[in-house]
C-alpha cells in the first residue's frame, strides 16, 4: 500500500486511522496560557507525534515548523505581549517549575520545542528569540505511560505528557488530567489496533 493511500485512510485532523479517530474525545481547553509548539516539519504528519494532539485540545495554541524552505517562522510574532513566555527546556540554568514559583513570577505563555535532545538543543541554538527565553523544567514525576513510540527526550516523556504536567502547574490539575486522559485514550487505541493490551479503548470512550 502506498503511503499516500495510508494517509488517506487516516483522520485528517487527529491523524489516527479512521476507526481509531479521537476527535470526538478531544477536549476543548480554552486557556489564557498560549502553547507555542515548535517542531520539525517532518514531525507534523507523524501520527505518533503527541505534541500535535495536545495542540488540538488547546485552541490557544500554534504549531510552528522548522525546516520549511522559504517559510522561516519568527517566534516573536507568535508571542502574545500580555505576559512573558517561558521555554520548557532542561537547560543547566532552567528554573524548577512549581505552583509557588508561578504564583509569584507568573503567569506565563509556554513555548515547547518538540523533538529529541539533539533536535531541541539545535532549535534553541539557531533561534535567537527562543534563545532569550527563560527555561523551565518539570519537577521529577512518574515515568512515561507511552508504549507506542520510543522516546528519546530528556525527561523520557511523550510531548503531550510534558505539556500536560506543565499545564498542570500553570493552569491546574483539571487541565493536566484532561490532556493525560486524551493521551491515554490514544495509547490504548493504538496498542489495541496493534493487537497489544485489551481493546477497551476501542469499545468505550468514557473510561
Residues that bind Zn ion (CB under 5 A): 11, 13-14, 21, 23
Please, what is the minimum distance in Å from the beta carbon of residue 20 to Zn ion? 8
Please, what is the minimum distance in Å from the beta carbon of residue 15 to Zn ion? 7
Please, what is the minimum distance in Å from the beta carbon of residue 202 to Zn ion? 14
Q: Which helix (H) or strand (E) holds 39?
A: strand 35-40
Distance CA 102, CA 84 (A): 12
Closer Cβ to Zn ion, 14 or 37, answer by number: 14
Closer Cβ to Zn ion, 11 or 94, answer by number: 11
Q: Which residue is nearest to Zn ion (CB)?
A: 11
Residue 131: all three cell numbers together: 534563545
Q: Which of 187, 166, 149, 58 is nearest to 112 (CA)?
A: 166
Please, what is the minimum distance in Å from the beta carbon of residue 189 to Zn ion? 11
Q: Are 51 and 159 in contact (CB under 8 A)?
A: yes
Direct distance between the N- and C-terminal alpha carbons of the chain, in angstroms, rounded to an integer = 34
Please, what is the minimum distance in Å from the beta carbon of residue 26 to Zn ion? 8
Please give the C-alpha separations between residue 91 and each of 94, 95, 121, 167, 187, in angstroms, as whole numbers: 5, 9, 9, 19, 29
Q: Which of 91, 116, 110 is nearest to 40 (CA)?
A: 116
Please, what is the minimum distance in Å from the beta carbon of residue 134 to Zn ion? 35
Closer Cβ to Zn ion, 6 or 13, answer by number: 13
Closer Cβ to Zn ion, 53 or 75, answer by number: 53
Closer Cβ to Zn ion, 14 or 169, answer by number: 14
Closer Cβ to Zn ion, 19 or 74, answer by number: 19
Any alpha helices (H) in the chain, and if so which ranges? Answer: 3-8, 41-44, 50-57, 99-105, 117-126, 128-132, 159-170, 173-193, 200-203
Amino acid at each position: 500500500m502506498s503511503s499516500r493511500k495510508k494517509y488517506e485512510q487516516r483522520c485528517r485532523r487527529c491523524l489516527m486511522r479512521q476507526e481509531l479517530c479521537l476527535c470526538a474525545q478531544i477536549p476543548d481547553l480554552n486557556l489564557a496560557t498560549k502553547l507555542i509548539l515548535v517542531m520539525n516539519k517532518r514531525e507534523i504528519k507523524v501520527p505518533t507525534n503527541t505534541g500535535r494532539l495536545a495542540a488540538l485540545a488547546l485552541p490557544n495554541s500554534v504549531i510552528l515548523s522548522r525546516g520549511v524552505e522559504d517559510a522561516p517562522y519568527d517566534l516573536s510574532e507568535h508571542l502574545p505581549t500580555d505576559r512573558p513566555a517561558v521555554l520548557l527546556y532542561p537547560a543547566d540554568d532552567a528554573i524548577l517549575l512549581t505552583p509557588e514559583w508561578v504564583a509569584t513570577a507568573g503567569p506565563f505563555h509556554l513555548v515547547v520545542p518538540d523533538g529529541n535532545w539533539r533536535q531541541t538543543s539545535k532549535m534553541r541554538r539557531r533561534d535567537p528569540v527562543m534563545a532569550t527565553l527563560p527555561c523551565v523544567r518539570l519537577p521529577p514525576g512518574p515515568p512515561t505511560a507511552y508504549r507506542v513510540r520510543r522516546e528519546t527526550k530528556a525527561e523520557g516523556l511523550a510531548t503531550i505528557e510534558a505539556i500536560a504536567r506543565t499545564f498542570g502547574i500553570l493552569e491546574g490539575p483539571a487541565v493536566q488530567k484532561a490532556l493525560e486522559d486524551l493521551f491515554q485514550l490514544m495509547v490504548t487505541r493504538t496498542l489495541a489496533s496493534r493487537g497489544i493490551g485489551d481493546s477497551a479503548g476501542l469499545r468505550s470512550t468514557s473510561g
